[in-house]
């Protein structure tokens, strides 16, 4: 069975926490600064403009919310779309339940359907969730529409077990097992709509994401062989091998259509390195940050990638902007209450980016976490002009006073 490597389950005690970034709002900065000297209209403008410039120097405001449901002893986010987040949580003893959230810990909805011993949701498009449920000893690919009762079983009659890792709402992607081998698969909302995308010559394969027209995942071409990242365009024959030169293996777990994200084993001592592609093996870009032992890219918008890296002794969630040097460490935002973290999904609208994942607390519990990354706009020419005029005015004021005296 091919599993998404970065989705790892853990247990421990309940914790929920909301922590905003430590930056002072501009209005608070004004009050704080204004107590130091009389505030004239000009100096007020200087303070306001300076506050904007300070925010711009930082470049981003990053905050987070811990979405661990009340009474859960573990939880993980695996996908995000708009105000909808999905993953799994342990809210019943011994049961892992597919879960959907709407931005707060209290908003969680248990998706585990009647008759299922365990379940997990791996992706959401906002209105539909995709994942798996367990009936007896077999896992079945499935979809939901926000409630446990909306469950639809996607497991085709030819398959013993299956999983759905992605959904666009109209197309789902994952794998089915036929004669003991995984076959990359797509569906259109029903079990009977299953299409086998296992490439010619592949002994096994799995899809991990789809845009509706492009699918990405992995295929293995020899028994006991290493997986190769690849993309498809809706048919088995359309498979394109993305395994880069020099890589012993690779996996592509996300696509936005023009860019694919995942990892390749090109590192020292056989370590995986986060990477992106643009549709060909030769387009491979290594994202492994300086100082990282290994790293994984798990999601991409085309401009921003999410994932995690190990700088020792623990893993740190982070985002990239297309290069290894652009890595932004999201673990640093969590503070001393958490020891490690992973980012598993990303969604962007305008200047706001949501990154989902999980983090281990100092008590050992794995909690679902949602980061918000807010870009800080560049100061306008008008603001810069105000600073210049204000500075000039302040320099001239003593001379004017002297002449009046």
Q: Which of 77, 69, 86 is nearest to 127 (CA)?
A: 86
- Distances in whole angstroms, Cα of residue 364 to Cα of each of 69, 337, 369, 378: 16, 10, 15, 40
pTM of the predicted model as reported, rounded to 2 decimal places = 0.81
**Distance between CA atoms of residues 339 and 10, nearest Å:** 14
Domains, the chain, ordered by start:
18-404 (2.120.10.30)
Compare 154 and 26 and report the one with higher pLDDT: 154
Q: Find the mean pLDDT for residues 14-39.
A: 25
Residue 37 has pLDDT above 50, yes or no: no
User: Is the pLDDT at 52 greater than 70, yes or no?
Assistant: no
3-state secondary structure of 43: helix
The SS3 assignment for 81 reads strand
**What percentage of the chain carries pLDDT values higher than 90?**
75
**The residue to which tokens 């809706």 are assigned:** 234
The mean predicted confidence, pLDDT, of the chain is 83
Cis peptide upstream of residue 313 (ω within 30 degrees of 0) = yes
How far, in Å, CA of 160 to CA of 232, rounded? 24
209 contact partners, CB below 8 Å, separation of at least 6: 123, 165, 166, 173, 215, 216, 217, 252, 253, 254, 255
Mean pLDDT, range 352-358, rounded to an integer: 98
Q: Rounded distance, CA 326 to CA 391, Å?
A: 35
Say how far apart CA 405 and CA 399 lie, in whole Å: 10
Give yes or no for a contact between 98 and 111, defined as CB atoms under 8 angstroms apart: yes
The share of the chain scoring above pLDDT 70, in percent, equals: 79
Q: Which helix (H) or strand (E) element contains residue 393?
A: helix 381-404
CA atoms of 282 and 272, how far apart (whole Å): 18
Sheet holding 195-196, edge to edge: 162-167, 172-178, 181-187, 195-196
Q: Is 302 helix (H, G, I), strand (E, B) or coil?
A: coil
pLDDT digits (tens, 9 = 90+) for 256-267: 999 999 999 998
E-strand stretches of 301-365: 305-310, 315-320, 328-329, 338-349, 352-361
C-beta separation of 13 from 364 below 8 A: yes
Position 379 confidence tier, pLDDT thresholds 50, 70, 90: low
| Residue 7 pLDDT > 60 | no
Average pLDDT over residues 303-330: 97
Which of 4-8, 15-19, 331-335 comes out lowest in average pLDDT? 15-19
Return the pLDDT at 377: 67
Q: Name which of 176, 119, 118, 179 is nearest 144 in CA terms.
A: 119
**Mean pLDDT of all residues in 298-313:** 97
Q: Which of 76, 66, 34, 70 is nearest to 51 (CA)?
A: 34
pLDDT at 6: 38
If you search the block for the tokens 């759905």, which residue do you land on? 164
pLDDT score for 305: 98
* pLDDT in the model for residue 378: 58
| Encoded tokens for 273 | 């390195």
Query: CA 35 to CA 26: how far, in whole Å?
Result: 15
Q: pLDDT band at residue 284, thresholds of 50, 70 and 90?
A: very high
**Strand 305-310's sheet: what is its strand order?**
294-300, 305-310, 315-320, 328-329
pLDDT tens readout for residues 62-94: 999 999 998 999 999 999 999 999 999 998 888
7-16, 167-176, 233-242, 379-388, range with the lowest pLDDT: 7-16
Is the per-residue pLDDT at 148 higher than 50? yes
> Looking at residues 216-239, what average pLDDT do you find?
97
* Residue 183 burial (C-beta neighbours within 10 Å; 0-12, 13-18, 19+): buried
CA distance 73 to 365: 7
What pLDDT shows up at residue 337?
A: 97
């Amino acid at each position: 069975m091919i599993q998404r490597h970065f989705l790892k389950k853990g247990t421990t005690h309940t914790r929920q926490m909301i922590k905003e970034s430590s930056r002072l709002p501009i209005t608070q900065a004004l009050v704080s600064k204004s107590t130091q000297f009389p505030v004239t209209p000009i100096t007020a403008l200087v303070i306001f403009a300076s506050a904007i410039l300070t925010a711009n120097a930082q470049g981003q405001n990053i905050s987070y919310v811990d979405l661990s449901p009340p009474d859960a002893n573990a939880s993980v986010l695996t996908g995000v779309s708009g105000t909808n987040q999905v993953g799994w949580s342990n809210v019943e003893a011994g049961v892992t339940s597919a879960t959907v959230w709407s931005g707060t810990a209290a908003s969680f909805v248990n998706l585990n359907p009647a008759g299922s011993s365990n379940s997990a949701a791996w992706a959401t498009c906002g209105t539909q969730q995709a994942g798996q449920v367990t009936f007896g000893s077999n896992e079945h690919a499935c979809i939901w529409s926000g409630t446990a009762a909306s469950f639809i079983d996607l497991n085709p009659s030819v398959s013993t077990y299956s999983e759905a890792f992605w959904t666009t709402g109209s197309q789902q992607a994952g794998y089915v097992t036929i004669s003991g081998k995984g076959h990359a698969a797509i569906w259109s909302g029903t079990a009977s709509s299953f299409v086998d995308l296992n490439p010619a010559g592949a002994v096994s394969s799995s899809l991990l994401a789809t845009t509706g027209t492009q699918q990405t995942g992995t295929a293995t071409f020899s028994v006991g062989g290493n997986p190769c990242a690849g993309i498809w365009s809706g048919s088995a024959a359309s498979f394109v091998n993305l395994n880069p030169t020099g890589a012993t293996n690779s996996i592509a777990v996300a696509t936005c259509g023009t860019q694919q994200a995942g990892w390749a084993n090109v590192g020292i001592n056989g370590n995986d390195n986060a990477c992106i592609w643009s549709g060909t093996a030769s387009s491979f870009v290594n994202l492994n940050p300086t100082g990282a032992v290994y790293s994984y890219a798990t999601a991409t918008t085309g401009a921003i990638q999410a994932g995690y890296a190990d700088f020792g002794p623990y893993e740190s969630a982070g985002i990239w902007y297309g290069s290894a040097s652009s890595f932004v460490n999201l673990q640093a935002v969590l503070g001393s209450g958490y020891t490690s973290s992973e980012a598993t999904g990303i969604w962007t609208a305008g200047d706001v980016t949501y990154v989902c994942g999980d983090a281990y607390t100092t008590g050992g519990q794995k909690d679902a976490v949602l980061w918000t990354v807010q870009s800080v706009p560049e100061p306008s020419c008008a603001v810069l002009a105000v600073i210049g005029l204000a500075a000039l005015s302040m320099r001239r004021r003593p001379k004017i006073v002297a002449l009046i005296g």
